[in-house]
Chains A and B, each alone.
Chain A
Amino acid sequence: MKRYAAVILATGLVSSPIAARAQTLTLYSAQHEQVVGMLTAMFTKQTGIKVQVHTGEGPDIASQILQEGADSPADVFFTENSPELNFLDEKGLLGPVDKSTLAKIPGKYNASDGDWVGVLARENVLDFNPAMISESALPASLLDLQKPEWAGKVGIAPSDADFLPLVSALIKQDGKTAALAWLNGLKAGAKIYQDDESVVAAVARGDVAVGIVNNYYWARLETDLGSQKIDSKLYHFKNGDIGGLINISGAAVLKTSKNAAAAQKFLAFLVSKPAQQALGESEVDFEYPLAPGVPPNKLLAPFKTLQPPPISVSALGDDQEAGLLLQQAGLI
């Protein structure tokens, strides 16, 4: 009898229109729109909680949340790069993530204070056009690209949010002076594009020989064009070179969220097996699912073969210094 009552109560809660109306989650997202669309549809189907999404670039949304302050309508922030999460965490705007959610992901990919959880990873790579340059002529280190012999051959997108973590990592590894020198070298010799999408397109059509991008822009272009039509390949930096930096895409619950329980549910869903598997199989996403044992898309190099630099996500910090340095170099 008791069991029946529980079932009736549960179905009542799920199907009651009042409960359904009250449960709408507001997600501020800097992740790929199609991927988020897939995830929120799965989540709503599973929990009955509706999700409304506000999309933008990671750093932009972080500053929007900062400005909105206690009034922010956002419940969850889901972004492509960890520095934006660290930034909001430093400002005290993030609440703690449920322990059980954090436990699903290897600790080194989560915030050290447990205020955000890692969901996906991306690799920084060098995209190159084999018709213009042979793989053996590619540099051992990303830092070589500032040299005069690379002038006119390199495409970069300093205003893309994905460029900032590279600069942050360089500051951590070699200091500000060296990072600024590298940026000045690029400013003098590299071709500047608006975003990573433009860089991979430029490499594919032979505008530049190489381009500094995240791996998934190439994978998306290759999927769209078909492997016969794309005239570019990926080169992975090895031996812990800064160029092989791994960017962590993560999610957090805002401290001011009025739907904290539902927000925690959404985070738990993001790291759950079904969601992580769907991300790994997606023909749109091309990022590494961080839950152990979930294989990524076949276009990606196996996660184990990557040799990223030894800089942890917490050491990477926020990207405020990197942004200032880019301004100083006149790149943004």
Chain B
Amino acid sequence: MRRRPSFWLLAACCLASGLVLLPLGVTAVDAAGAGWATAGALLFRPLVGVLLINTFLLIGASVICCALIGTAAAWFVERSDVPGRRLWAVLMVAPLAIPPFITSYAWVSLSPALEGFWGALLVVTVSYYPLVYLPVAAALREMDPALEETARSLGNNVPAVFFRVVLPQLRPALLGGMLLVALDVLVEFGAFALLRFRTFTTAIYSAYRAGFSGAEPALLSMILLLLCIACLCAEFLVRGQARYGRLGRGVRRRASRYSLGAWRWLAAAKFAGWALLTIGVPAGMIIYWLAQPGNAATAPVAATASAVAQAAWASVYLGALGAGLTMALALPLGILAARYSGWVVTLLERAAYLAQSVPGIVVALALVSLTVHSIRPLYQSTFLLLLAYAVVFLPLALVSVRSALMQAQAGLEEAGRSLGLSRAAVLARVTLPLAAPGLGAAAALVFIAVTTELTATLLLAPIGTQTLATQVWADTSTLAFAAAAPFAAVLAVISMAASWLLARRFGAASALLVN
């Protein structure tokens, strides 16, 4: 017998998915409001050409760099005898805990020569290569060594085995990671704005500032949205066929490691150098600027202790509320996706994942445009900002919520029901306690993401609200690097500490769930 979701569950899911689709709709309506003639004039002009070239060049270059570095690092960590593998395994993922605009701040304050394409490529590569490293390392761990051994025994040397046997098996993981890099490059705003590199996000922001919520930013948003959705669809297709069959999942041996001989010290040195570049430079530059006198005159925001404390409080406060609202929207969708099936379920879930392709700047712009006249009391309110966070980070929460609920066995819920508990009581007394560690991890992920969020906050923060991210932004925009340093330092510490705690807790929790 197929179970049907209750009316209330469906209603909550429709609300959540509808909320995600709302910015898309508003942007489309705003763009259509321009009329053909205006739209043509705005779209077919040199600026759009420059943006397309900048965007494609950067995506192409950064995807290749991330793929090369991510794959090489994964192979050396997983399959070679390079010394210090455990340390490198941690350090290679650590850049994910540093917001890209903080990395950008560090590099641009090191040298103004990094403004523009090469700086953007550098920042994107050091920030996003873990998106390739992680799936590729996981695929290497899962790989059956028998194939490689067969290839070796047939006379292939190590490089030939890698290119003819290992790489083809890595393809799904590698392509998926590369598309994630491309998508993240498309939606990134702060890092490029600080590097004065023009992409669609920065152009949308300029158009918004110059004309507020008119047709121009909406039209640019539409182009960006199409590019993002194309990336997301490609990623979905790659993931769909991402299965390299292995008949008879018998006991698989652990793959043996290749011995690098004396070269392993060189490999270790390269890992150290790379860690210095990705983590050492951001940390070092923040510490350097902390030691400098604090731009008393050039800084728009003086970095007094109370200003830093206020901004930190605002960031954490918004992070907590944002995580709460996002979880409230993700939970019904997660329950629906994990416990029910059917086309309605698939449709609602896919709609929510679509948010992954909607850049923060587009969400924020749509919400401004919607509320400035129509839903007046929400304009410039904290709730509107939280709503934007919820839309942007719903997919992030949904992935974890869904897997947490999948691991809580449905049979136990049915037992609860058969013993006379109501649906609500089953949810409160069986499902949620079982899924609690996974749900906690999801909330923590969203908390970190909201606390370090810049774009939506910049457009939607209520008058008088400044977060750590917006203060770093304000000071760095006027080159007052020393004044920005305390805000950047607190932001980086919160982000890294929360990520570290999460990794530890989530690791332990997932081990518990598996056992």
Contacts and interface: CB of A to CB of B under 8 A. Distances in A.
Interface of A: 26, 32-34, 52-57, 59-60, 63-64, 66-69, 71, 73, 159, 194-195, 197-198, 201-202, 205, 207, 219-221, 223-224, 283-284, 286, 323, 330
A66 B212 contact: yes
A243 to B, nearest CB: 24
A202 B300 CA distance: 19
B477 A195 contact: yes
A73 B376 CA distance: 10
B211 interface: yes
A201 B112 contact: yes
Contacts of A63: 210-212
B380 A283 contact: no
27 contacts: A33-B301, A34-B300, A57-B209, A59-B210, A63-B210, A63-B211, A63-B212, A64-B212, A66-B212, A68-B372, A69-B373, A73-B380, A159-B206, A195-B477, A198-B112, A198-B479, A202-B112, A205-B112, A207-B112, A220-B297, A221-B297, A221-B298, A224-B296, A224-B297, A224-B298, A283-B296, A323-B210
B101 to A, nearest CB: 15
Contact of B297 (A33, A71, A194, A223): A223
Given A63-B211, A67-B214, A223-B297, 13 more contacts: A34-B302, A52-B463, A60-B210, A67-B372, A69-B373, A73-B379, A195-B477, A201-B479, A205-B112, A207-B112, A221-B297, A221-B298, A224-B295
Contacts of B302: 34
Contacts of B464: 52-54
Interface string B185-220: 000000000001000000000100111111000000
Contacts of A219: 297
B478 interface: yes
A195 B480 CA distance: 13
B328 interface: no
Contacts of B301: 33-34
- The SS class assigned to the B binding surface is loop
Given A60-B210, A71-B376, A32 B300 contact: yes
Interface string B354-380: 000000000000000000110010011
Given A32-B300, A56-B209, A26 B463 contact: yes
Interface in B371-394: 372-373, 376, 379-380
A120 B212 CA distance: 27
Please tell me the size bucket of the interface on B.
20 to 34
B213 to A, nearest CB: 6
Interface string B462-491: 011000000000100111000000000000
Nearest to B477: A195
Interface string B24-40: 00000000000000000
List the 6 closest A-B pairs by CB distance, nearest first: A33-B300, A60-B209, A223-B297, A67-B212, A220-B297, A52-B464
A284 B373 contact: no
Contacts of A221: 297-298
A73 B463 contact: yes
Given A33-B301, A34-B301, A284 B296 contact: yes
Contacts of B297: 219-221, 223-224, 283-284, 286
Q: Which of A26, A52, A63, A69 has most chain B Cβ within 10 Å? A: A63
B46 interface: yes
Contacts of A224: 293, 295-298
Nearest to B211: A63
B494 interface: no
A149 B384 CA distance: 54
A54 B463 contact: yes
B82 interface: no
A73 B479 CA distance: 31
